[in-house]
């Protein structure tokens, strides 16, 4: 069992209407199966946060990060596998056709653009006491408001 938490980078991709991109994890995923989630994942050995952020966006959507607008927050949690993680999440803009992401085969089954009024959908299939992804999205919308987007 590792003594240090796993490091993760997450992207809250924002469109021109101030909505955030989310995708549903496939039911076969070991952690958070069938749940809505943001783009992101674990840092590879020797990889920096921003490099991981850019890599994950491209792997999971086919888009490329054009601007990092700012950090939303850093979140510490223990997932279903019992491993502790520290996740650094950022608001980003991307280049590419926002109506046609290339979802990562076998890992994600659908996507949607989430408005602030729709954050409750993030509670679907999650433990009632979890609330982490919803809190991250709420923090992202607050950050968007604070920078005037």
* 70-80 per-position pLDDT tens digit: 999 999 998 87
Structure tokens at 78: 């223990």
* Sign, CA torsion 81/5/37/125: positive
Q: What is the DSSP letter of 117?
A: G
Q: Is residue 1 part of a domain?
A: no
**pLDDT score for 69:** 96
CB distance 19 to 113 below 8 Å: yes
Query: Which stretches does DSSP call E strand in the chain?
Result: 6-13, 20-25, 36-37, 39-42, 64-78, 84-95, 108-114
Write out the residue range of the structural domain in which residue 61 sits.
6-146
Query: Model pTM?
Result: 0.93
* 12-67 per-position pLDDT tens digit: 999 999 999 999 999 999 888 999 999 999 999 999 999 999 999 999 999 999 99
pLDDT at 129 over 70: no
Q: Is residue 127 part of a domain?
A: yes
Q: Is residue 82 part of a domain?
A: yes
């Amino acid at each position: 069992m590792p003594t240090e938490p796993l490091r993760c980078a997450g992207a809250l991709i924002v469109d021109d209407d101030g909505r955030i991109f989310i995708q549903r994890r496939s039911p076969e995923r070991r952690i958070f199966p069938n749940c809505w989630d943001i783009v992101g994942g674990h840092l590879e050995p020797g990889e920096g946060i921003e490099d991981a952020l850019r890599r994950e966006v491209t792997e999971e959507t086919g888009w490329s990060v054009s601007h990092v607008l700012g950090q939303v927050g850093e979140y510490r949690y223990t997932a279903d596998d019992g491993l502790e993680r520290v996740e650094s999440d950022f608001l980003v803009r991307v280049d590419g056709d926002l109506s046609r992401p290339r979802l990562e085969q076998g890992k994600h089954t659908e996507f949607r653009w989430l408005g602030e009024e729709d954050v409750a959908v993030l509670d679907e299939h999650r433990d009632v006491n979890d609330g982490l992804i919803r809190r991250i999205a709420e923090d992202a919308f607050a950050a968007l408001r604070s920078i005037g987007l």
